[in-house]
Each structure stands twice: as C-alpha cells, then as structure tokens.
Chains A and B, each alone.
Chain A
Amino acid sequence: MESKNYIIDAKNLCFSYKNEDGDPLPVIKNVSLAVEKGSFVAVLGHNGSGKSTLAKLLNLVLTPDSGSLVIDGCETMRDDLTDADIYDLRRKIGMVFQNPDNQLVATIVEEDIAFGPENLGIPPKEIRTRVDEALKAVNMTEFAHHSPSQLSGGQKQRIAIAGIIAMLPDCIIFDESTAMLDPAGRAEVMDTIERLNKEKGITVLLITHYMDEAVRADRVVVMNHGEILLDDAPRHVFSEVEKLKSVGLDVPQVTDLMWRLKKDAGFDLPGDLLHSDEAVEALGKLWKKLSGEEA
C-alpha cells in the first residue's frame, strides 16, 4: 500500500471556476501532489497561481472537476461519500485562513476553540481537556477568558490554530495565515507552526508568498498558472533562481545575493545557500582563497 504514508495524495486534479459568461476558467491544471505524513511542505506562488484554490480542494470545500484525491487512504472522489465522511475528512485536514477576524466565531477565546469539537459531537468533559491542551499548545492559556477583540493579530491567529488543533487534525493547511500580520505576529505564528510540526507530528501545508517562511519547510512546491512548476527541497528549489524570477517570484535575499555575486560578478560561490551563516562561511572561504592567490 503506497498510499499509506501519504496524508494527502492528489493525482491529476483539475478545477475551473465559471466566469460571468459561464465559460470555464481553469485554475488548477492537472496537479499531482502527495504529502507525506508528518512533513512540512510550503506551497509558493504569486497571486492567482491557484495555491489557495488547491488548498480548498484538499479540504473538500471545493470539489475537483476531475482527478483523484485520496486523504489518509480514503478516496474522496467517489459518489457514495456521506456527510459524515466529509466531516471526518475535514477534521483530519484543518485549515487556517488569512484573516484571523473572519474565522473566529465566539465572543470568548475558549468558547471559540470549543466550536470545532462541539460540531463533532465530542462529550463536554473531553472538549474541556482538548481546549485546555490546545490553548497550551499555542501558549495562550492565560487568554482563555478574553474576548478575541482584545487580542493582537498574531494572538488571534494562534487562537484560530488552537481551534483547529482541538479537533485533533492530522494535517493543517495554512492559507497565507501570516499575510495580514505584523512582523512580530508573523514570527509568533511561524514558531507555533514549526513547533506543532516538530513536536506533535502534525503535517503542515504552508501556503505563502514569503520566501523566508518557505525556507523553513522540508519541501517547497512552486505553483504557477495552476500547475506545479518545481517540487523539491528548499535548497534545490531556490537554486533555480532564474526559473523562479521568470514566474514573478523572489528568492530569499541571501540566495539572491550569492547568486548575483556568482553570475554577475563571476565569483566562485555555491548557488544554493539559504541562510546567512552559510553565506558568511562561503564568503569567508572565498576571501581566504582570493587573498591566498594575491600573496
């Protein structure tokens, strides 16, 4: 059973929206994506590349026009899929959206976190323990009785994440969840996401257009015009600087600097550096080599 290790296994997914004239407007074209359990995958793409639509397909909010989508070993593209199956699949694949304000339902933080488990019909006592654990997982225990309107953007987003964790998902899709936050809020949320992945083993699918966030993933998928352009480890993906630039995407600043030093200035530097300490090391080596040649 090859599908056993995959939480999400999509093959040849196609999806199109209808435009005003009723003509189909393809947004997802023949996309195949398999996500291993416990991995941390970043999906990159500029606006309109279909990355958010892909997330909605994986979460069963939208139904693909064709293709096959297997979630945790369960084929979702069959006709006899019951409502109960759909709720169970949605529980497994949680989703955190961009605007923290538009996904919180209740006026009290802990009531909001309880919303998901309540919908699943979990017994009250267990909801209580799940809510407390979820609050702990996002370091928001002291805010349990606050109103969401008293919280900062980053805190609200962490509450939204806690609301998903309380449903005990296998995988969480973050649909540009840091896009509306200030730098401090982004750092808070990214640390939370990384911790959930490492400590709780929750599979993370991070949709973003921030390169520095994508670098933290195990694997980066680059989307362009509804198709997968690149799909590899961050180091390999970001070494394709020209390809990324041609589809309107940036690479991390360090990578860009090293790449230009190599290409434009002709220095002998590796083209796949992601972190500044690696760059320091490489530049140090280069410096020693150059000063050695001079002497």
Chain B
Amino acid sequence: MANRLNWLQGKTVRKNTPAGSHSRSSSTPQVHSTSSTIFGGGVKDPSGRITEYSSDDDQCPVCKSDKYLEKKLRLLVSSCYHKMCESCIDRLFTLGPAPCPICNKVLRKLAFTPQTFEDLGVEKEIAIRRRIAKEFNKRLEDFSSLREFNDYLEDVEDITFNLINDVDPVGTEARITAYREANAALTLLNSQREEAYILSLRQAEELERKEKEMRAEELRREEEEERQEKESGKREIIERLERADGADAAKVVQRTKRERAEREASRKGVAPGKGAQALLRARMAAAAATAATKDTPHIPFQDDYYAYDDMFVLQRVYLDPSSEAVRKDREGIMRAGGYQVEEAWERAVRSAVAGLDLLPLDTVPSSYAMDQGGDVIMSSA
C-alpha cells in the first residue's frame, strides 16, 4: 500500500532494490559500476571516520563528463596519481594493462584507489610513507648509539623525500632493494613485534571495557537490592502494625526501622565483592599517584580561642556610649557586612584579659638575621 502511493508523493522508487548480491560500503551507496565490486569499501579505515573525497566540481579529465550532468560520477586515482571516472577505467582497462591516457604509464584496473584527500600530493605522500614504514622499521634498540639511529632516520627521510618528489627514482629504488636484502630478517622480526604490541594494546582495551561493564552491572544490582529492601521494610512495618493493634504505633515503626538498619549494616560489612576489587585497585593507583606529591596538611587554626574564658563573664548587653550609634542604626547601614556589636564587645573583653599575666622578657633573643648591607634577609621572615 505504502509503496503504491509513493508516486503520488513524488518519491522515487529504486527499481533494483538490495536484492542484488552487491555488498557495498555505506559511504558510497549511490555508486553503480562494475568497479565498485573491485574496490569494496575503498577507504582503508575500519572505524569509518574517513570518507571518500568528492566535490561538486569533479570532472573526469579523460572523458570530460562532470558531476552536473552525471550525478553518479566517481573519480578514482591511478598509481601515477591521475584521476579518472569509473566508466573510463572500465572502458580502458577491462582488457588488461594499458597506458595511462595522461602520462602513458602502464596501469592495471586493480591499482585504482578511491581518493581520501583533496590534494593528490598528500595522497601520494601518505602512500609512499606507508610503504617505506613497512620496510624501514628498525628501532632504537637495533643500534649501538643514538647517533647511528639518527643517521638511519635521516637516510629513511632522504629516500622518502626522493620518492615523493621523483628525485633520482632509479637510484632510490636501488637503495631500497639493497636495504631490503640486507635487513630482511630484522624487518620481519620488527613487523612481528609491532603486531604483538598492537595486539596487546587491543587486549588491554578489551579488558578495561569488560571491567567497566562489570562495575555498571554491579551498581545496577545493588540499586535493585536496595529498592527491594526498602519495599520489604515498608511491608514489614505494615504487617507489624496490623498484628500489634493495641501497642504504640510510633514505637513499632521505630523498632522495625532500627532492626532493618542493623541488618543492613551487617550485610554491608561482608559485602565488598569482586567488583569492588577493581574499584579498590583504581583507588590505590590514584593514591599512589598523589602520594608522590603529598604535602604537609594545612591546619588553619589550632590555637586555644577559649583560653581566657575563665577570666571574664560576658554580658548580653553593656552600657557602651561609644557603640551607641551602631546599635541605634535602624537601617543597618553600619552593620553591613555582618558587623555585630556583641562580637566586637567579646573581642574587646577578650583582649582586655589576654596576656594580662605574662611577665616581660628579660632575656636577649638569641638569633638575629641581618646581612652586610643592613637589610633584612628575605628568607628569615
């Protein structure tokens, strides 16, 4: 029914719906060409974040057809970094290797790749670097000194630069071949190491994910239990109230609540289960991290504020002409900021008795820090 009414609403209905055996990447669903089967997803990015590059101004340099007339136009890049549309590729290379219509280099149909970057220079550089990285994978451990390692890196960069900018291509290729022959075993070993490293990373990631899931599961379970506990508690209270119809209701409620609290406490005492271990571990790691930068705790006030309390009896009101203006101030302008005359009185009385019994010093202080110029030494303050 819905399908039949689609034409009324102006919707186009695709005739060849996914009944075909095509399996295409979701990023290029509109492409219809035999070559799409060859290139599969095209872009080498399993996460799917990188998409194929295309713009509205695309035009095939061979057949001059453009996006305006040919909506499905898709340009692919040859191994000599020239763009061509899929129909041209089909036309030229179906019958086997043929020269590029632009630079005459012999190309094969399989060697065409989709474009990722707008600038083909970047595309080329990345391809070259990927290739070089596969071959030149020596590590710092493979050298006796840092200097040798740096020289090696310099060489690799030289080769890469030559390849990218087509400087002495024959000589460069010869260098690569020579290197490959000399270091075949080491290259293989290093590539295996790299794979092992990636694998271990992936495993660690997986482990972390599982742990997180477990913690969430545990939390959910605890919440559920708590909810049930609460509900059963309520039911218990109601039941007891029903049974003890004569007794004091408030007392029954209180007793039940107390009992429940005790039960809960005992349950929590033994509870720390498996999931808590992971949490504990994380917390210990955090504690170890902070222990390194631990400082002496700041204690703001340790003195005895009440030391003089036995020496005076504070009155609620004093006869005090000097503070009369503040007390009479009805709008509280003078008391803005929290001034309270009672506090001022207390402070004054306290300072009246503070140190009253201290005897004057008769001894000479021992240390006196002063530098040659007669100025105070800063650190002595």
Q: Is B a genuine binding partner of A?
A: no
* Interface residue ranges, A against B (CB under 8 Å): none
* Interface residue ranges, B against A (CB under 8 Å): none
